[in-house]
Chains A and B, each alone.
Chain A
């Protein structure tokens, strides 16, 4: 795609809850973030038009910069005019709405389908059916599997280049018949072919009358080689096609966008890959309202995992169903029953942007996050390396750079809390640089990388993503409260800071953002830091300081609410420097819910009531009194050092081009 090499760039990302706009321009020859705006997404009621939110976000930028971005007609001014109004390039990304409903067709699950799954990993795809030669279903069942799943996209793979042809074509004909039979439904259907390239012309011809056909290089050109990148790029295009068909004003908002509407998730992969080039390995984690993305880059290898059932807003209930209530509860320092947890999740789906307002809600929100990221890691790790594939429960291998993104991290206004949540959720080992995408720049960076690589590199190098600070974490379990890390930090003025960090605790030194210091840290009591007993390195301060995590891996989280009520408030205080917000004793009492008899008058109705709604656990479950406790926490001095803050029947002649489907 031909794209202008331009100066000013406006990147807009539409999330399920928030719309964010970032203005980027050349400042003294280098690209810099000039201003950003964030508003509520307006794709749903009452506007039903994402463009309204986009205009509001641009008005925020105009207020800050004085630069006019929107014309009197309401469109983005492009290119930039002589008076400095407008921008040269508009880029749009989104993670909104439902994923692409996709049917995968391939020869074998282990080869072609496995490669196809890696190609779809970077886009919002929901694989609704998979059909292979190994499929035990008969032709009729396979046809209906495709028809009834109402796919947006058929993704056909299989065969090495120059390899299998006839079997692949036979499989494709079943899909072609399904599309033919449902051609009058008025929906756009897409077919992406990324198999044996020799068969591409026949595939194109087969689907020409029923779908838009996209052709990509073979995801498996040979048995030994996998190449998902080209298919991934076409999947982004497919996502754009369906996005514009979704309505909600996407088509109008994207007018003038250099690349249409790109899936936000691919940006995380690009950023992780870049960061892994400058370090050795990088993780980029985004937890949003409707889904979560984890991009991992280790050397030259990178993977992206997306789970649309792990989100803290619209997907909160799906998250709870995916991980189970116990997985969330193990992070809570108080009793809560399944009903209350489900109520919390359901209410989050109703008001996905809501902020935890009291201590109880904060713990609940963070428990959902930690449990959700653990499930995301379990999906992602088998894709990383042979080692992580073999033991998905082993400690996280050292990642040099870890980036957190999403309102749950950046919307707290507390970088130290964001850092602690990253540590709790990912549980890294060794030395890691923690970053926070507080301005939601990553979606813009991903789009920029395709058209303006200089801007991509310059923005990342210039600290476009907030440095939270370096974190040193021990690898295994800590042995009690004995000194586990012995720290010697030499500051720029040669002041030496010494500190022993007991096992099971966090310690933070408030090294200011950008300040370099020499660190010499020894692991005591049998502990290791990234497999070493002693680490000497230069560290750079961040908004959260320098963090020493001697809690151990896996995190020794208490087994009962009472144990966790001792731990979690301390960890929060140690990370933030805030006073300990202790858990009140009555939060720790399991509330026996009072049985509420049905009104007596209903007894008379009972005999003629044949259908009864499920009443499981009926009278045992009433809202726990504990959830109604207001503001029950005490402030105590922190032990830790304080830190800064259907079609019509077809006529016979219409069948001509389809007759050979059965031949």
Chain B
């Protein structure tokens, strides 16, 4: 990595932008599309429905019914390929009244009958993917979903719990998210996406469920709550990371401006070659005929640029790049790396490794 033409890590913090997002069924599922190219979609539009891989059951008809040969199987079959069967349903019987014979051990579909055997495939839970944004289908991903172009505000975080939530953005009560309480219908937070500046606690996850929140945008969570966060049925988006970090001012101010507007949390779990980021997309009013600019994705680090520090003593702070030294700089820990000189909001200037900088945009 050199200081020359350095492309820093970039996260979207866009008031109005045109953007494209894939909406796909999970990798382990295959299915059918519910939309076509050029269709307009809304937050709740179902893009594709499918089912995930399910186990098979092999049944030996010859053995079960003590038949003399494979050729005899056809005479005793009560089902055919493609039939849906329920548990205990008769599949093959020598008895004309169907009282004795080979019954299905599962609910499923007959997928194969040959060589004296029946293969059943268990029913699997259906899965579906919603658009989660307002826009237009620009490309079809066969059997998986679609690429949708949308317009709106976008804020990207660093971690999501693999859930999606749609709701109106609301700020947490002054005392904190944990103080949301109320009856079945009286809470203004029911179905909302709640912003909190404080790290999530175990009780925060309870509140999310108890109070029927659609999701929460929080700065951080303790690692010991990771499994609970993943198991939580509501969407969680972290803006900073794991531990006890508080939400940075820039992100908080951005979100506050969208209170009362409908938004989607796409709590994507980060992964290698993951073409998506955990993000919140806000449906903002856009004048007819007006098209906001596409998000910039080729930002080169330059002097004067506002950056966020991601590691070290000043992690989470924002600052301005005041210099980009041509040579490597020795850090307090003895490493010698390419750095940017960053002036923090406190007035302090620090050397920050290029790798530890992020830009919004």
Task: Point out residues on A near B: beta carbons under 8 Å.
Answer: 16, 18, 38-40, 43-48, 56, 59-60, 63, 96-98, 139-140, 143-144, 147-148, 150, 181-182, 184-186, 246-248, 290, 314, 339-340, 342-343, 346-347, 349-351, 353-359, 361-362, 411-414, 417, 572, 576, 578, 581, 598-599, 601-602, 604-605, 608-609, 611-618, 621-623, 630-631, 633, 645-647, 649-652, 655, 658-663
Contact = CB atoms under 8 A, between A and B. Distances in A.
B81 A186 contact: no
B302 interface: no
A601 B311 contact: no
Given A45-B276, A56-B7, A617-B224, A578 B334 contact: yes
Interface stretch (B164-172, B285-293, B348-356): B348-356
Interface in B62-96: 81-82
A315 to B, nearest CB: 9
Contacts of B10: 46
B320 interface: no
A414 B335 contact: yes
Contacts of A646: 30, 51, 53-54, 121, 124
B335 A347 contact: no
Interface of B: 1-2, 4-5, 7, 9-10, 12, 28, 30, 51, 53-58, 81-82, 109-112, 114-117, 119, 121, 124, 142-144, 158-159, 175-176, 178-179, 181, 201-203, 205-207, 209-210, 222-229, 231-232, 241-244, 270-277, 295, 297, 310-313, 328, 331-337, 352-353, 355-356
B330 to A, nearest CB: 8
A412 B143 CA distance: 46
Closest 4 CB pairs of A and B: A613-B228, A357-B312, A413-B336, A662-B115
B332 A359 contact: yes
26 contacts: A39-B7, A46-B277, A46-B297, A140-B57, A143-B56, A147-B56, A184-B30, A340-B243, A343-B223, A351-B311, A353-B355, A354-B353, A355-B335, A358-B332, A362-B334, A411-B1, A414-B335, A599-B175, A601-B175, A613-B228, A621-B224, A623-B244, A646-B51, A646-B54, A646-B124, A650-B111
Given A38-B1, A59-B5, A649-B111, A633 B243 contact: no
B109 A649 contact: yes
Contact of B333 (A43, A56, A359): A359
Contacts, number: 253
Given A355-B355, A599-B203, A631-B332, 19 more contacts: A40-B1, A46-B277, A148-B55, A186-B143, A246-B273, A346-B223, A351-B158, A353-B355, A358-B313, A361-B312, A361-B333, A414-B335, A602-B178, A605-B207, A611-B209, A613-B232, A615-B228, A618-B202, A633-B332
A609 B210 contact: yes
Nearest to B178: A599
Contacts of B109: 649
Q: Which of A45, A351, A414 neighbours the largest number of chain B CB atoms within 10 Å of its CB? A: A45
Given A413-B337, A609-B206, A649 B110 contact: yes
Given A46-B297, A343-B243, A605-B210, A652 B328 contact: no
Contacts of A362: 333-335
Q: Which of A350, A357, A651 neighbours the largest number of chain B CB atoms within 10 Å of its CB? A: A357
B4 A60 contact: yes
A59 B2 CA distance: 13
Nearest to B58: A140
Given A181-B119, A355-B337, A604 B181 contact: yes
Contacts of B5: 56, 59-60, 63
Q: Which of B111, B207, B295 neighbours the largest number of chain A CB atoms within 10 Å of its CB? A: B111
A640 to B, nearest CB: 14
B52 to A, nearest CB: 8
A97 B273 contact: yes
Contacts of B207: 602, 605
Contacts of A623: 222, 243-244
B135 to A, nearest CB: 17
Contacts of B116: 662
Contacts of A40: 1, 7, 9
B56 A350 contact: no
A246 B207 CA distance: 40
Contact of A631 (B158, B202, B313): B313
A298 B121 CA distance: 51
B360 to A, nearest CB: 13
Contacts of A184: 30
B160 to A, nearest CB: 11
Given A347-B243, A359-B332, A576-B334, A613 B231 contact: yes
B313 A601 contact: no
B112 to A, nearest CB: 7
Nearest to B115: A662
A661 B114 CA distance: 10
Nearest to B202: A615
Given A361-B312, A618-B202, A631-B313, A411 B337 contact: yes
A356 B297 CA distance: 26
Given A140-B58, A357-B331, A414-B334, A650 B112 contact: yes
B55 A602 contact: no
A358 B335 contact: no
Nearest to A140: B58
B53 A652 contact: no
Contacts of A355: 311, 335, 337, 353, 355-356
B176 A599 contact: yes
A604 to B, nearest CB: 7
A63 B226 CA distance: 45
A598 B177 CA distance: 12
Contact of A613 (B110, B111, B205, B276): B205
Nearest to A615: B202
A359 B313 CA distance: 10
B218 to A, nearest CB: 14
B114 A662 contact: yes
Contacts of B228: 613-615
Contacts of B226: 342, 346
B112 A655 contact: yes
Given A46-B10, A602-B178, A357 B203 contact: no
A351 B355 CA distance: 9
A616 B53 contact: no
Given A346-B242, A357-B352, A599-B203, A659 B114 contact: yes
